Amino acid sequence: MIVGFIGLGTMGSNAARNVRRAGFEMVVHDIRPEAVERQMEPGVTAGSSPADVLARADVVVTMVFGPKEVEQVVRGPSGFLSSNCKGKYWVDMTTSSPRLMRALAAEVEAQGGHAVDAPVTGSVDAAIRGDMPMFVGGEDTSIEHVRPVIEAMGQLRKVGRYGNGYVAKLVNNQLWKIHAAAIRGSGRTHARADTIASVGATRLARIQRARWRRACLISVVTGRISVRSASDAGLRRSACRAA
| Residue ranges of domains in the chain | 2-159, 166-242
Instruction: Express each pLDDT in 69-127 by its tens digit.
Output: 999 999 999 999 999 999 999 999 999 999 999 999 999 999 999 999 999 998 899 99
Is 203 a residue whose pLDDT tops 70? no
Band of pLDDT at residue 172, cut at 50, 70 and 90 = confident
* Range from 31-45, 107-121, 196-210 carrying the lowest mean pLDDT: 196-210
Q: Indicate if the pLDDT at residue 238 is higher than 60.
A: no
Average pLDDT over residues 220-240: 41
Q: What are the tens digits of pLDDT across the range 147-157? A: 999 999 999 99
- The DSSP secondary structure of 114-136, one letter per residue, reads EEEE--B-S-HHHHHHT-EEEEE
pLDDT of amino acid 219: 39
pLDDT at 223 over 50: no
Asked if the model's pLDDT at residue 211 lies above 90, the reply is no
Helix extents (H) in the chain: 10-21, 33-37, 50-56, 67-75, 98-110, 124-129, 140-153, 164-191, 196-199, 201-213, 233-242
Whether 169 sits among the annotated catalytic residues: the reply is yes
**8 Å CB contact between 39 and 95:** no
Task: Say how many C-beta atoms besides its own lie within 10 A of residue 135's C-beta.
Answer: 26
Q: What pTM does this model have?
A: 0.75
- In the set 88, 158, 169, 177, the catalytic residue is 169
Give the CATH class of 2-159: alpha beta
| 212-219 mean pLDDT | 42
pLDDT of the residue at 26 = 98
